[in-house]
Amino acid sequence: QNSLLSATGTTIFTVMSALAVQHGAINLGQGFPDYDGPEDVIEAAAAALKDGRNQYPPLTGVPELRGAVAAHNRRFYGLEVDPDAEVVVTSGATEAVTACLMAVLNPGDECVLIEPLYDTYLPVVRLLGAVPRLVRLSPPDWALPRAELAAAFGPKTKAILFNTPMNPTGKVFTGAELAFLADLIARHDCYAICDEVYEHLTFDGWRHIPLMTLPGMRERCMRIGSAGKTFSLTGWKVGYVTCDRSLAPNVAKAHQNLTFTTPPNLQRGVAVGLMKDDAYFEGLSSSLQARRDRLARGLKELGFGVLEARGSYFITADFRPLGFNGDDVAFCRTLTEEAKVTAIPVTAFYAPREHALDASADAPSHYARFAFCKGEAVIDEALGRMKKWV
Ligand code: PMP
Ligand code: GLN
């Protein structure tokens, strides 16, 4: 069967997780914690399951969760949001990203994307008949290339979709970078889809700033969060979009045609989670920072060139100092098969050549992405296995 989706391969996360299982490898590939989320959140969902909350909830989400999303926006970012008209609950941030793209893009519209990019972005932009305009960040610092970004915006630009804190780089967009983006978005009269699933996972005093809080951006941004990341419950697939009342009806219509609703019992749990005290959110980032430090230290000792991760679940590391002869796909495969540790090749976060603005530029192919959202013993065991292998 030949369709636009035929060119899309099985997601790298599924491919590498299957390879990890096949070889009995410790999976530092796919980003999921190996510990459970907060007990009260799980209890609230379990109680709701037994309490008869098992039929279709309202299309845009249960009122409790919409209220909690609005309160969370006010508490952390000073954003005033109408829970009845400016919040849409989705089945994960994955659906939210697709729904937001569907809400604003028409065939032929251009959508600016920033590489490295999460693997669902490009196929969905293409499915909608929109034209991707890719701008590439470069290691080791992944700074925004301002001239190239400005050049990617034009009369056909309808939206930009970007991710901060960023998977796989761990970059956290700075206030100055966001101000530069905001100026482009306003001048070109377009929208921003802001994938902020790692909003609470920042380290070393780095703070996440939603683009939506910048002057002129309130009406133009669709801000996406995920219970998977904020409550370490990635299998739940509950996401939430915050956007202006002028945009929310279209996001809701996309949701109506994708999944229609999201499990009401899980929504109840997430509502309890978003109302947790500040200590919970601080504890989440400090516990992840400790895991990051543990993995980063170990990888450096093994000889990897470890890049700074200011946020997210991930470290990217240059494996060339180890003397490996091959690209990142070969490295991650060999590491899985021989060391029994799985990582993700960073080239999976780059578009196929034909989409690149500068087709001559190859993606950097000497980085592997390691997830550190794992127990300390698991991180240590993975490091121990790699030590025997290098
Ligand atoms: N965006 C980014 C950048 C991600 O890393 C992920 C995966 N965790 C998602 C979206 C998807 O989130 P969800 O599991 O809530 O669909
Ligand atoms: N977001 C997760 C990651 O980057 C994976 C999600 C998925 O498997 N689709 O590892």
At residue 280, φ and ψ (nearest 5 deg) are -60, -50
Both 15 and 76 in one domain: the answer is no
Ligand 1: which of 197, 240, 288 to mutate, judged by most atoms within 8 Å of the beta carbon? 197
Answer for the pair 74, 81: CB distance below 8 angstroms, yes or no: yes
Q: CA 165 to CA 308: how far, in whole Å?
A: 13
Answer for the pair 61, 88: CB distance below 8 angstroms, yes or no: yes
Both 250 and 285 in one domain: the answer is no
Which pLDDT score, from 0 to 100, does residue 353 have? 65
Q: CA 298 to CA 27: how far, in whole Å?
A: 16
Both 219 and 335 in one domain: the answer is no
Both 92 and 227 in one domain: the answer is yes
**Tokens at residue 150, please?**
């400005």
Bridge partner list, 222: 193, 243
Contacts of 383 (CB under 8 A, 6+ apart): 295, 298, 299, 301, 302
CB of 167 closer than 6 angstroms to any ligand 2 atom: yes
Ligand nearest to the backbone CA of 236: 1
CB of 312 closer than 6 angstroms to any ligand 2 atom: no
The domain that holds 168 is classified in CATH as: 3.40.640.10
Both 167 and 290 in one domain: the answer is no
For residue 166, the ligand 1 atom closest to its alpha carbon is 3
CB of 313 closer than 6 angstroms to any ligand 1 atom: no
CB of 259 closer than 6 angstroms to any ligand 2 atom: no
Ligand 1: which of 97, 118, 194, 201 to mutate, judged by most atoms within 8 Å of the beta carbon? 118
Q: CA 224 to CA 336: how far, in whole Å?
A: 33
CB of 94 closer than 6 angstroms to any ligand 1 atom: yes
Q: CA 39 to CA 338: how far, in whole Å?
A: 37
CB of 239 closer than 6 angstroms to any ligand 1 atom: yes
Both 136 and 69 in one domain: the answer is yes
Both 74 and 172 in one domain: the answer is yes
Q: How many domains does the chain have?
A: 2
Q: Which domain holds residue 179?
A: 39-278
The domain that holds 366 is classified in CATH as: 3.90.1150.10
Both 237 and 299 in one domain: the answer is no
Which pLDDT score, from 0 to 100, does residue 362 have? 80
In the chain, which residues have pLDDT < 50? 357, 359-360
Both 305 and 211 in one domain: the answer is no
Q: Of the residues 278, 304, 325, which one is the last residue of a structural domain?
A: 278
pLDDT tens by residue, 118-142: 999 999 999 999 999 999 999 999 9
Ligand nearest to the backbone CA of 259: 1
Both 260 and 299 in one domain: the answer is no
Q: Of the residues 232, 248, 278, which one is the last residue of a structural domain?
A: 278
Q: Count Cβ neighbours within 10 Å for each residue of 26-59 and write b for 16 or more, e otherwise.
A: bbbbbbbbeeebbeebbebbeebbeeebeeebee
CB of 171 closer than 6 angstroms to any ligand 1 atom: no
Q: Count Cβ neighbours within 10 Å for each residue of 216-242 and write b for 16 or more, e otherwise.
A: ebbebbbbbbbbbbbbbbbebbbbbbb
Ligand 2: which of 13, 97, 169 to mutate, judged by most atoms within 8 Å of the beta carbon? 13
Which pLDDT score, from 0 to 100, does residue 359 have? 47
pLDDT tens by residue, 36-81: 999 999 999 999 999 999 999 999 999 999 999 999 999 999 999 9
Tell me whether strands 131-136 and 314-318 are parallel, antiparallel or unpaired: unpaired
pTM for the model: 0.97
**Model ipTM value:** 0.97
3-class SS letters over the chain:
CCCHHHHCCCCHHHHHHHHHHHHCCEECCCCCCCCCCCHHHHHHHHHHHHCCCCCCCCCCCCHHHHHHHHHHHHHHHCCCCCCCCCEEEECHHHHHHHHHHHHHCCCCCEEEEEECCCCCHHHHHHHCCCEEEEEECECCCCECCHHHHHHHCCCCEEEEEEECCCCCCCCCCCHHHHHHHHHHHHHCCCEEEEECCCCCCECCCCCCCCHHHCCCCCCCEEEEEEHHHHCCCHHHCCEEEEECCCCHHHHHHHHHHHCCCCCHHHHHHHHHHHCCCHHHHHHHHHHHHHHHHHHHHHHHHHCCEECCCCECCEEEEECHHHCCCCCHHHHHHHHHHHHCEECEEHHHHCCCHHHCCCCCCCCCCCEEEEECCCCHHHHHHHHHHHHHHC
pLDDT tens by residue, 212-257: 999 999 999 999 999 999 999 999 999 999 999 999 999 999 999 9
Which pLDDT score, from 0 to 100, does residue 361 have? 64
Q: Of the residues 250, 278, 306, which one is the last residue of a structural domain?
A: 278
Both 115 and 250 in one domain: the answer is yes
Distance 313 CA to ligand 2 centre (A): 10
For residue 29, the ligand 2 atom closest to its alpha carbon is 10
What number of CA atoms fall less than 13 Å from residue 183's CA on the CB side? Answer: 9
Both 174 and 197 in one domain: the answer is yes
Nearest CA to ligand 1 atom 12: 93
CB of 340 closer than 6 angstroms to any ligand 1 atom: no
